[in-house]
Chains A and B, each alone.
Chain A
Amino acid sequence: MTALSLRPARHAVPGVFVALALTLVIGWLVVLLDGGQLFNQSTTVSLLHVAAGLGLVAVGQTLVILGGSLDLSVAFVISLSTLVAAEAMNGSDGAMLPAIGLALAISAAVGLLNGLLVTKARINAFIATLGVGLLLKGYLDNGYDGPAGESAPALVRTLGYQRVGPVPLSFVLLLAVTAAAWFALSRTRFGHHLVAVGGDPEVARLSGVRNDRVLITAHVLCSLCAGLAGVYLASRLGSGAPRVGTEGLYDLESIAAVVLGGTALAGGRGGVLGTVGGVLLLASIDAVFNQLEVDAFFKQVIRGVIIIAAVAVYARRAMRKAGS
Chain B
Amino acid sequence: MRVAERRPLPLRIRTDGIAPIVALLTVLLILIAFVQPDFLAPSSLMSFLGRSAPIILLAAGQYFVIVCGEFDLSVGSLVTAQVVVAARLIDSDPSRTWPVVVLLLAGGALVGLVNGLVTTVLRVPSFITTLGMFLILVGAVYLWSDGAPKGGLSEEFRRFGRRAIEDVPLLGRIPYALLVLVVVAAIAVVLTRSDFGRTLVAVGDNPRTAELSGVRVVRTKTIAFMLSGLAAAVAAILLGGYSGVSFQAGVGLEFGAITAVVLGGVALGGGRGSVVGAMLGALTLETLFALMNFAGVSGALRSTVQGVIILLAVAVSSLRSSSSR
Q: Do chains A and B touch in the complex (CB under 8 A)?
A: yes
Chain A residues at the B interface, C-beta cutoff of 8 Å: 117, 121-124, 126-128, 130-135, 137-139, 141-142, 252, 255-256, 259, 264-266, 295, 297-305, 307-308, 311-312, 315-316, 318-319
User: Quick check: B308 and A308 within 8 Å, CB to CB?
Assistant: no
- Taking the closest CB of chain B, its distance from the CB of A200, in whole angstroms, is 13
User: Quick check: A142 and B300 within 8 Å, CB to CB?
Assistant: yes
Lowest 6 A-B CB distances belong to which pairs?
A: A138-B304, A134-B307, A300-B139, A304-B135, A304-B136, A308-B132
B311 at the binding interface (Cβ < 8 Å): yes
Cβ-neighbour of A139 out of B118, B136, B304 (below 8 A): B304
Given A138-B302, A266-B125, A301 contacting B118 (CB threshold 8 A): no
User: Quick check: B131 and A255 within 8 Å, CB to CB?
Assistant: yes
- Taking the closest CB of chain B, its distance from the CB of A18, in whole angstroms, is 19
User: Which chain A residue shows the least CB distance to B141?
Assistant: A297
Main secondary structure of the interface of B (DSSP, over half): helix
Q: Which residues of A contact B71 (CB under 8 A)?
A: 126
Known A121-B318, A121-B319; 19 more pairs at CB < 8 Å: A117-B315, A122-B315, A126-B258, A130-B259, A130-B310, A131-B308, A131-B311, A134-B303, A135-B307, A137-B304, A137-B307, A252-B131, A256-B128, A256-B131, A259-B128, A265-B127, A301-B136, A303-B135, A307-B132
- Taking the closest CB of chain B, its distance from the CB of A54, in whole angstroms, is 15
* Docked pose: A280 CA to B257 CA in angstroms: 33
User: Quick check: B142 and A297 within 8 Å, CB to CB?
Assistant: yes
B134 at the binding interface (Cβ < 8 Å): yes
User: Quick check: A312 and B122 within 8 Å, CB to CB?
Assistant: yes
- Taking the closest CB of chain B, its distance from the CB of A169, in whole angstroms, is 31
Q: B128, B255, B267: which has the most chain A beta carbons within 10 Å?
A: B128
Chain B residues at the A interface, C-beta cutoff of 8 Å: 71, 118, 122-125, 127-129, 131-136, 138-140, 142-143, 147, 255, 258-259, 262, 267-269, 298-308, 310-311, 314-315, 318-319, 322
Q: List 24 A-B contacts (CB under 8 A).
A: A124-B269, A126-B71, A127-B259, A127-B268, A127-B311, A128-B311, A134-B306, A137-B303, A138-B300, A138-B301, A138-B302, A138-B306, A142-B304, A252-B131, A259-B128, A297-B143, A301-B135, A301-B136, A304-B134, A307-B128, A308-B122, A308-B129, A311-B124, A312-B123
Q: B140, B268, B300: which has the most chain A beta carbons within 10 Å?
A: B300
- Taking the closest CB of chain A, its distance from the CB of B164, in whole angstroms, is 33
Q: Which residues of B contact A259 (CB under 8 A)?
A: 125, 128
Cβ-neighbour of A131 out of B133, B139, B307, B322 (below 8 A): B307
Given A134-B307, A138-B301, A312-B124, A122 contacting B136 (CB threshold 8 A): no
User: Quick check: B123 and A123 within 8 Å, CB to CB?
Assistant: no
User: Quick check: A134 and B135 within 8 Å, CB to CB?
Assistant: no
User: Quick check: A304 and B307 within 8 Å, CB to CB?
Assistant: no
* Docked pose: A312 CA to B126 CA in angstroms: 11
Q: Which residues of A contact B147 (CB under 8 A)?
A: 297
* Docked pose: A122 CA to B124 CA in angstroms: 26
* Docked pose: A73 CA to B318 CA in angstroms: 21
Given A123-B315, A124-B262, A142-B301, A134 contacting B310 (CB threshold 8 A): yes
User: Quick check: B127 and A122 within 8 Å, CB to CB?
Assistant: no
* Docked pose: A139 CA to B311 CA in angstroms: 16
- Taking the closest CB of chain A, its distance from the CB of B62, in whole angstroms, is 12
Q: Which residues of A contact B124 (CB under 8 A)?
A: 308, 311-312, 315
* Docked pose: A39 CA to B309 CA in angstroms: 50
Q: A141, A308, A312: which has the most chain B beta carbons within 10 Å?
A: A308
- Taking the closest CB of chain B, its distance from the CB of A66, in whole angstroms, is 14
Given A126-B258, A312-B124, A307 contacting B135 (CB threshold 8 A): yes
Given A123-B315, A265-B127, A304-B132, A138 contacting B143 (CB threshold 8 A): no
User: Quick check: B135 and A300 within 8 Å, CB to CB?
Assistant: yes
- Taking the closest CB of chain B, its distance from the CB of A126, in whole angstroms, is 6
* Docked pose: A287 CA to B78 CA in angstroms: 28
Given A137-B304, A304-B134, A127 contacting B139 (CB threshold 8 A): no
User: Quick check: B310 and A127 within 8 Å, CB to CB?
Assistant: yes
Q: Which residues of A contact B139 (CB under 8 A)?
A: 297-304
User: Quick check: A312 and B136 within 8 Å, CB to CB?
Assistant: no
